[in-house]
Structure 1
Amino acid sequence: MAGKAEGIEEEEMSRMEEGVNPSPSTTFGMHSCCSSNYVATLAQKVVAELIGTYFVVFAGCGAVAVNKIYGRVTFPGVCVTWGLIVMVMIYSLRHVSGAHFNPAVTITLAIFRRFSFKEVPLYILAQLLGSTVASGTLALLLDVTPEAYFGTVPGGSNGQSLVAEIIITFLLMFVISAVTTDERAVDNLAGIAVGMTIMLNVLIAGPISGASMNPARSVGPAIIEHVYCGLWVYIVGPIVGSIAAAFLYNFLRSSNMPLSG
């Protein structure tokens, strides 16, 4: 593993000497050792985050609304939709922006020095804007009654939903840390791993908290439909769970022991 790490560093140094910036290490499924010399501008990254978050919310929340209005999607169908749209957008935009689509992920990557703090405000703004515009689109396309609200509200108490959000976001960020920031992991299937994690989390925690895992996913619908019940849960919970997961995975990564086998 030491030889592999040294080879990666030498390759990045040679790129810098040639005037080419190293590829971002936060890209889903594409470590710096296997990505191309293409480096997106900040404007391109921000637009990619806006587009990606828009379609994640449009498809995921759209499935929720259609199921409540027409009853044709079913709860398992909603779970699959969330997993699929995240997977599709990761593979579509990972090489441009890193495919965060989630303020909790962006903040956590910055805290653990996997992402530039200077880009955090613009990323979060793009994610919130993408979610809000997608929610507005759904409000225009569908007859959204209060019973068909496609945002997230606590199914029980705020405390229950907070714990659920912390746990499921912990699992999500733990998987993200493993498949996108650790060269020892098999990274080509990162999008599938993250998408399946989201699908499972929605299946388990959907009836409890709505399984947000993403402040932008909850804030956008709340702004459009003016539903702010328990909104703080979906801001605090994902951020706390995400940071805790990254901290624990960094502990697991810190070993110098060689891989067995």
Structure 2
Amino acid sequence: MARNSDSNSKDKADGYVGLQEADVEMTSAPARPYQVKSPLLRECMAEFIGTMVLILFGDGVVAQVVLGEGTKGEYININLCWGLGVLFGIHASGGVSGAHLNPAVTTTLAIFGRMEWRKVPWYILAQVLGAFVAAFIVWAVYNPMFNVIDPEKNSTQGVFATYPFSSDVPVGTCFLTEVVGTALLLGGIFAIGDEFNKPASPYTQPGAVALLVVAIGMAFGMNSGYAINPARDFGPRLFSLCAGWGSKVFTMRDHYFWVPIVGPILGGAIGGGVYVGLVEHHHPLAVSDWSLLQHFSMARASDDKTENEYIGLEEADEVMTSAPARPYQVKSPLLRECMAEFIGTMVLILFGDGVVAQVVLGEGTKGEYININLCWGLGVLFGIHASGGVSGAHLNPAVTTTLAIFGRMEWRKVPWYILAQVLGAFVAAFIVWAVYNPMFNVIDPEKNSTQGVFATYPFSSDVPVGTCFLTEVVGTALLLGGIFAIGDEFNKPASPYTQPGAVALLVVAIGMAFGMNSGYAINPARDFGPRLFSLCAGWGSKVFTMRDHYFWVPIVGPILGGAIGGGVYVGLVEHHHPRDYKHPLDN
């Protein structure tokens, strides 16, 4: 996968670590027969094969679901198999070319100096050719069924390329969806590989990017088919023109074909820019010092520095104040932490509210309750990757207040963290509304029934408010008790690289077990910020007044539940660790 934490674009443009030295050795030693010596040609061959693998799985699963008429898969199959295509495309090419597999990745890396511009057109050509060849193979495999299901080739062009969900979705909305989806993709890739934040390990980075694509499809796949990749769309679209679907594949919906080309290119640049501008640019290291990297970690529930962020921050800040800072670099640790909380919570709510919107507005055709459970967990995962190394990735006032109660967060920081979290959630709700507004107007023009896309409400009139309150307390107690256990170095913790995934799975489990009664807010910012936005966006004061002013439940319940969960774990487990206990993994 493309590495993005190094400022030296020459070292990163190629996938092979130490490529220059290897090439010197190649020219001085006998090469294997027919071995390609050109680094650029090797990289392009890797991009070709990686993109071909990606599209074989991606277009293949769409073909099977469409031509099987629902008997051989559903929408979740499409989400998962596109992610698996990304996974194996990266494994097939990542060490050689960086596994861009996508012109939006290639151009964004070039914009930020992490890819040589001279290579960009060749990478893109290889990617488009790989996608074209993959489309041909998929067509060859399924051609008999194409002839049965759509002999006139009028309705199956969507197997190869992306098109608007329906005539109710304007082209402009599809363009916005592509921009948002690809911004999440590139921002996520930058975060996953940022060694000075909370990165995935080198071995799990392919899987993390694959899950990122799955989440984007679950939350923002409906409007435009989530191309988020110009080569993925243009190569197969060109093949469908050649294979008999006709010129309509380029002309329909006002020559729609430009949307999945321009939208991802723009979105990638925006996503990379937002991450660099709000997080990466403000890391307190004046120089890239690997000896300091060991000090960076997600907040541990058993450490007296759990309230944030860069462990060893004081020393790092002394370096920053004693050396010239980068232009516009934020020096204040608290402001950096709040910026990270803002971006992390925004990512969480984009995926969370996005998947609920897609399930509700797609009326069951674009996901089910399991999609909601999984995508909220993935939102937590990528929210942590985006902010965990800076602020501890609380993303939740219940986490912030509980850590403060147990002396693992300074109380003076609590209101600022909470403000950043609520603002991030509010902005995310606005983006989700902007993406899905045309479908809101179709499904619920009077705004009477879709307020649950943004905030949580009781399951039905049969569930008392008191029961919802209890559910929020229990769910958040499990969340905070689980977080304390996951980070307890003297118990059985997750590793630093797997902590984000462990917390994400914890949220998935809470939703599966305790999501029905109250919608499992388990996070006051997750509920209050989007609820406030829905008030502003036309759903009216009922979002605060219905069910006896229910809005207080997902605020007070999680705060109380978090304190209880943390207290139970500390009181029954952590407090009783022998003081002289040495973990078996310690030297």
TM-score band w.r.t. shorter chain: 0.7 to 0.9
**1:181 Cα shift?**
5.0
**Contact in 1 for aligned 2:200/2:208 (Cα 8 Å):** no
Percent identity of the aligned residues? 30
Across the aligned residues of Structure 1 and Structure 2, the Cα RMSD in angstroms comes to 2.7
Contact in 1 for aligned 2:108/2:269 (Cα 8 Å): yes
SS at match of 1:207: coil
The structure-2 alpha-carbon separation of the partners of 1:49 and 1:181, relative to structure 1 and needing over 3 Å to count, comes to farther
Corresponding position: 1:44 with 2:42: yes
* In the alignment, structure 1 residue 218 sits paired with structure 2 residue 206: no
Q: In 2, Cα distance between the equivalents of 1:207 and 1:232? A: 18
Structure 1 partner of 2:260: 234
Paired amino acid for 1:210: G
Q: Aligned partners of 2:269 and 2:240: how far apart in 1?
A: 29
Matched, 1:63 2:61: yes
How many corresponding residue pairs? 241
SS at match of 1:232: helix
- Whether contact under 8 Å (1:25, 1:180) holds in the other structure is no
Q: Alpha carbons of 1:93 and 1:81: their partners in 2 closer, same or farther (altered >3 Å)?
A: same
Q: Which moved more, 1:190-199 or 1:147-156?
A: 147-156
1:206 to 2:221 alignment: yes
CA distance in 2, matches of 1:26, 1:202: 29
1:148 to 150, 156, 169: 156
The residue that corresponds to 1:186 in the other structure is: 200
C-alpha distance in 2, partners of 1:88/1:81? 10
C-alpha deviation, 1:96, in angstroms: 0.4
**1:1-261 alignment to 2 at 5 Å?**
23-24=11-12, 41-70=39-68, 71=70, 72-143=72-143, 144=146, 145=150, 146-149=154-157, 150=159, 151-155=161-165, 156-180=169-193, 182-184=195-197, 185-188=199-202, 189-226=204-241, 227-228=249-250, 229=252, 230-251=256-277, 252-257=279-284, 259-261=309-311
- Whichever residue aligns with residue 104 of structure 2, its letter is A
1:196 and 1:25 mapped to 2: Cα distance? 24
Q: Partner letter of residue 148 of structure 1?
A: T
Task: Report Cα offsets for 1:23-58 as digits up to 9, x if no partner.
Answer: 52675xx9x69x996568111100000011111111
Q: Is the 8 A contact 1:84 1:195 kept in 2?
A: yes
Relative to the length of structure 1, the TM-score reads 0.83
The answer for unaligned runs of 5 or more in structure 1 is: 13-21
What is the SS of the residue equivalent to 2:257?
Answer: coil
Q: Deviations over 1:76-134 (max 9, x none)?
A: 01110011110122133211000000011101111111001111111000001111111
Q: Which residue of the partner structure matches residue 18 of structure 1? A: none
Structure 1 position 187, deviation (Å) = 3.5
Residues 53-77 of structure 1 deviation map (CA, whole Å, 9 limit, x = unaligned): 1111111011001110013021101
Question: How many angstroms apart in 1 are the aligned matches of 2:14 and 2:180?
Answer: 22
The letter for the 1-side match of 2:55 is V
AA of the residue aligned to 2:52: Y
Greater Rg by CA: 2
- Tell me by how many angstroms 1:256 deviates: 4.1
Q: Partners of 1:168 and 1:38 in 2: how far apart? A: 37
Q: Which has the higher contact order (CA 8 A, sep 6+)?
A: 1
Question: Is residue 175–residue 193 contact of structure 1 (8 Å, CA) maintained in 2?
Answer: no
Query: Which residue does 2:347 correspond to in 1?
Result: none
CA distance in 1, matches of 2:188, 2:55: 21
Paired with 1:166 and 1:127, the residues of 2 have a C-alpha distance of 20
TM-score w.r.t. the length of structure 2 is 0.38
**Aligned equivalents of 1:67, 1:248: Cα separation in 2:** 36
Q: Assess if the C-alpha contact under 8 Å between 2:196 and 2:283 holds in 1.
A: no
CA separation in 1, counterparts of 2:200 and 2:210? 15
Q: CA deviation at 1:207?
A: 2.2
Letter in 2 for 1:24: K
Q: Taking structure 1 as reference, are residues 147 and 37 closer, same or farther at Cα in structure 2, changes over 3 Å only?
A: farther
Give per-residue Cα distances to partners, 1:163-199, cap 9 Å, x unaligned: 1111111000001111235454334221111101101
CA distance in 2, matches of 1:142, 1:253: 46
Which whole-Å CA distance do the structure 2 matches of 1:110 and 1:38 have between them?
Answer: 24
